[in-house]
Amino acid sequence: MVNMKIGIVGGTGDIGEGMACRLSHKYEIILGSRNEEKACKASECTVELLKERGLKACCLGGANQKAVDEADIIVLSLPFRHLESTLECLTGLENKIVITPINPMGKAKDHFYYDRPEEGSAALTVKKLLPESRVVAAFNNIAAHKWKILDEELDYSVAVCSDDEEAKKIVMNLVNDIPKLKAFDAGPLAVSSIVESITPLVLNIAKYSKLKDVGIQFK
C-alpha cells in the first residue's frame, strides 16, 4: 500500500468509481460527493467488486469536504461548469496535490469543440481558484465509461502537465500504477489547454470514423 490517500471530489461518476476500482488495492481512496450516502454506497460497491476479484480494497465514502480533508491527493472529477461552485464550498486544499482531468467542451451542429476558458484551460482555471495548491493536469483523454470496464486494461498514454515538478512526478507514478496506462511529462501547466482539447478531438474521431471510445498513445 502506498502511503498516500487519494480523495475524489465528485467521486460517484464513472471516472471516480473506476479510478477507485483501479487504485484502491494500492492507495487508500476516499470517494467524495455532495450526496454523502451515494458516496458511501459507491465505496461499498468498490470494495465488494474488488473482493469478488480476490483483491482487498481500501475505499471509503463521504462528503466532498471529507475527501479533501483526509487525502493527500485530490482528484477533481467534475464537469467544468460545476468547477467554480464546487471549489467555493471546499476548504483546506492548500499545499495539496490537486489533479484536474477536466475538459471544457461544447457541441456545435456537426462537431465537438474545445470551449477554452478565459484563463486558457481548465487546469489554469483551477490554479487561479486554488493558487496555493499543487495543480496537475492528468487523465484528461480517457473515456469516462472506460474507467469502469475493469476487464479491459487502459492501454493509453496520459500527458501530465504541472508547474510543480515534484507534484508532477508523484502524479506520473500514480498514472503508471494503473496497468498499461503510461504517463508522459508534457511540461508546464501552460500546455494543459492542448491536452484538454484532445478530448473533443477524439470524440470527433469516434463520431466520424464510427468508432467507440477513442483514446491516444504517444509513441
Residue count of the chain, please give it: 219
d(CA 85, CA 68): 15
Judged by CB under 8 A, the stretch of 26-34, 42-50, 63-71, 203-211 that binds a copy of itself is 203-211
DSSP 179: T
Q: Does 92 bind a copy of itself (CB under 8 A)?
A: no
Binding residue (CB under 8 A) for a copy of itself from 1, 89, 150, 190 = 190
DSSP string spanning 14-81? HHHHHHHHHHTTTSEEEEEESSHHHHHHHHHHHHHHHHHTT----EEEEEHHHHHHH-SEEEE---GG
What is the grid cell recorded at 162? 504541472
Q: Does 186 bind a copy of itself (CB under 8 A)?
A: yes
Cβ proximity to a copy of itself: between 40 and 113 the closer is 113
Q: Does 200 bind a copy of itself (CB under 8 A)?
A: yes
Q: Does 202 bind a copy of itself (CB under 8 A)?
A: yes
Q: Give the shortest CB-124-to-a copy of itself separation in angstroms.
A: 13
Cβ-based neighbours of 122, under 8 Å, separated by 6 or more: 80, 83, 100, 102, 103, 104, 137, 192, 196
d(CA 35, CA 39): 6
Q: Does 198 bind a copy of itself (CB under 8 A)?
A: yes
Cβ proximity to a copy of itself: between 71 and 183 the closer is 183
d(CA 7, CA 12): 12
Q: Does 59 bind a copy of itself (CB under 8 A)?
A: no
Q: Does 106 bind a copy of itself (CB under 8 A)?
A: no
Q: Does 147 bind a copy of itself (CB under 8 A)?
A: no
Binding residue (CB under 8 A) for a copy of itself from 8, 20, 110, 179 = 110
- Which residues in this chain contact a copy of itself in the complex, by CB under 8 A? 108, 110-111, 113-114, 155-156, 159, 184-188, 190-191, 194-195, 197-198, 200-202, 204-205, 207-209, 214-219
